[in-house]
Amino acid sequence: MVFLVLTTVPILLFHLFYFYTDDRFHIPLMASVAVLAGSMLALVSGPGKETILKVLLPALFLLAVAARIAAPAPLPQRRLAADRVRKHTPENAIVISAIDPVYLARLGGYGTSRRMVPLSRNVEYASALLVKKRVDDPRLRLLNSEDDRALALIRPHAEEAVRFVASERMDELVLEVARGTPVFFESTFVDENEAKVLAELQEHFKLVRRVPYLYELRLP
């Protein structure tokens, strides 16, 4: 019981306040509960009922396997996208993507000079503002942190966490392609909210498909 408490409670409490939620953070808790459930089942069954368990446990195992086949775990699309970038783009490439640049730079660009450029301000981290000193404005206390009015009050005192995004620097990207810099567009997580930016890309460049979800930008 001490082991169960020490291995599950701290991480459970931590993720009550962590901004990102995912089942994998609770694997120690789920595994421990499974072990306890199995122990309790053995106690409830008692001696002389081993035959029931020999039938029941394989049946439950087959049921769990069938459930996983019917509802397989989703593919790690971000990781697959990062692997495509690393495999199919030159080491000096500029890669435009709707995947957050921190993740993509670590898995798709580590050890190279690849430059990861967010597609727009809708991409995670590209929308963030950095404030070096506390903004003491009483109006902020009445507003949600995601409220546009709050952002308007903070913006004069802040700087962009990511200064270069494709939607705001289209002309500079054109110059990079003209200079011979390989520029690619990774489209795995592009949705309808990026329709305007996508139209601008297609207006300025010819998108040449290299592999699924990965296009090289060429001048018309």
> What is the rounded distance in angstroms from the CA atom of residue 27 to the CA atom of residue 91?
37
Q: Give the distance between the most distant pair of CA atoms in the chain.
A: 81
Q: Give the burial class of 189: count Cβ atoms within 10 A of its Cβ; 0-12 exposed, 13-18 middle, 19 or more buried.
A: middle
Q: What is the pLDDT of residues 63-102, one digit of tens each?
A: 988 988 898 888 899 999 999 999 999 999 999 999 999 9
> What is the rounded distance in angstroms from the CA atom of residue 205 to the CA atom of residue 184?
11
Helix (H) or strand (E) holding 97: strand 94-97
> What is the rounded distance in angstroms from the CA atom of residue 146 to the CA atom of residue 138?
16
Q: What is the pLDDT of residues 158-190, one digit of tens each?
A: 788 888 999 999 999 999 999 999 999 999 999
Could you tell me the two tokens for 72?
């397989």
pLDDT for the residue numbered 143: 67
Q: What is the pLDDT of residues 141-165, one digit of tens each?
A: 666 666 666 667 677 777 888 889 9
Spatial contact of 219 and 174, defined as CB atoms under 8 Å apart: yes
Q: 157 Cβ partners below 8 Å, 6+ apart?
A: 131, 133, 135
